[in-house]
Structure 1
Amino acid sequence: MTTSSGSPQPAPMVVPRFFVRQRITVMVNRYEIRAADPDGSEGPLMALAEQKRMKLKEEVIFYADESKTRPVFSFKARQRLDVHAEHDVYDEYGSVLGTFSKQFGASLLRSTWNLSAPGLQAVGRERRPVIAILRRIWDLIPYVGDIWVPFVFHFDFVDTATGQPVLTSERKKAIRDRYVVTVPDPRVDFRLAASMAVALDALQSR
């Protein structure tokens, strides 16, 4: 969709920059989505995500706050336990905001994802192919790869039609996974961007 001037129609909710921080508990993975303050520091909580483990269909629900009384968006796999399943992102009323999926073949050497939104098709890859290969070697080491990943890796998503950047996720060194997410393309709704950013951590080993 475009405006009368011919420029792309912006998404309903646009957030150019935010942070994702992982929390780990016994039965669920939790992720804090925080706004970026003008000085670049972490701001207020925008959403709290929960990924329940051992579900046949992968699903992550994002809540408005710590009370978890109001789910505001979510993503869910269409297929059961499928490494290249399509995942739909829903708003709080059940309308689809966009989709994403992992390219299984390409991801054997370098993790690659498809991302789509109204008027947009994008592809995202690990930024550094050498780090991607080293991560895979590390994961083959018995026990060690499941305990600690020493590599800091990033993802860059570009418009498949123009090659222009639409989303980046940069992992920062921390005890728990922490990411800085930048969204230069206003066609990417914040809820879709936050879902994709969480999936890059929660589903990366799938």
Structure 2
Amino acid sequence: MPTSLYHVRKTSLGPKRKYRISADDGKGRPGEPLGYAEKQLKMSDELDLFADDRRSQKLATVRESSRGWLAALTGYEVFDDEGRLLGSFGLLPKKSVGRTTWEFEQPGLGRLTGAERSVRTARARRLLTLFDTAGEIAGALVKYHFDFVRDGEPVFSIDKPKVFDDWYRLTVREDAVDRRLLFALAVTMEARQRG
């Protein structure tokens, strides 16, 4: 089954985080720009995803949710530019004790579970975060890799392959995965994984 690669890079810190989303250039590096995201640091989590940094076309909006199965976890719903639900995802607190674990749901694709591949890396990141309340240093020092699976089969993965580089690689193994929903998940995970 062919795989698709994408890249998400955080381009700014501070009260407004900015992210650039790109296709792969065929050599494992960011290539053609596909999107742009902004994440405000505020009490209510909300994220807007645009086609480019001019913000001329909104692709999706992420909002916190407490409906349905999302009520049992830190959940988010993603809507397209006309307000239609694309899907949802959330952090599973109980399963995240050992390794951070997310749940991802897209209509027609089903519900996927994504956990950190390495228990050792998960523990190291948590340990570093204890000494870094802002979380930025911990996030920079530790790589991570999340595999999202359905019935034991990998559907996509999100990994941070380098230290001191806010670059995230997305590997997609099923064309049915909505890229807007996937990009929204990747940015939200980056914003939350500091803890």
Tell whether the 8 Å contact from 2:142 to 2:163 is kept in structure 1 after alignment: no
User: Residue 85 of structure 2 is aligned with which of 96, 108, 128?
Assistant: 96
Alpha-carbon displacement from aligned partner over 1:78-124 (angstroms, at most 9, x marks no partner): 15xx9933211111111111110100111122100000111311000
After the TM superposition, which residues 174-185 of structure 1 pair with which residues of structure 2 at under 5 Å, given as runs?
Answer: 175-185=164-174
Runs of 4+ in 1 over 4 A off after TM superposition: 142-146
* In the alignment, structure 1 residue 152 sits paired with structure 2 residue 140: no
The code of the aligned residue for 1:173 comes to K
How many residues matched? 187
Q: Which has the larger radius of gyration?
A: 1
Q: Give, as a single letter, the amino acid of the residue that structure 1 aligns with 2:149.
A: V
Partner of 2:185: 196
User: Which residue identity lines up with residue 26 of structure 2 in the other structure?
Assistant: P
- Give the structure with the higher percent strand: 2
Distance 1:137 1:92, change over 3 A: same
Q: 1:174 deviation in Å?
A: 5.1
Q: By how many angstroms is 1:40 displaced?
A: 2.9
2:27 matches 1:62: no
Measured at CA, do residues 142 and 91 of structure 1 come closer, stay the same or move farther in structure 2, by a change above 3 Å?
A: closer
Sort the Cα spacing of 1:175 and 1:64 in 2 relative to 1 into closer, same or farther, 3 A.
Answer: same
Higher relative contact order (CA 8 A, sep 6+): 1
In 2, the alpha carbon distance for the partners of 1:204 and 1:50 equals 17
Does 39-48 or 191-200 show the bigger shift?
39-48
In the alignment, the residues of structure 2 paired with residue 126 and residue 169 of structure 1 have an alpha-carbon distance, to the nearest angstrom, of: 9
RMSD: 2.2
Give TM-score, length-normalised by structure 2: 0.87
In structure 2, runs of 5+ residues without a counterpart are none
Report the residue type matching 1:203 in the other structure.
R
Q: Which amino acid aligns with 2:106?
A: A
Would the alpha carbon gap of residues 140 and 49 (structure 1) be closer, same or farther in structure 2, given more than 3 Å must change? same
TM-score normalised by the chain length of structure 1? 0.82
Correspondence for 1:140 among 130, 147, 169: 130
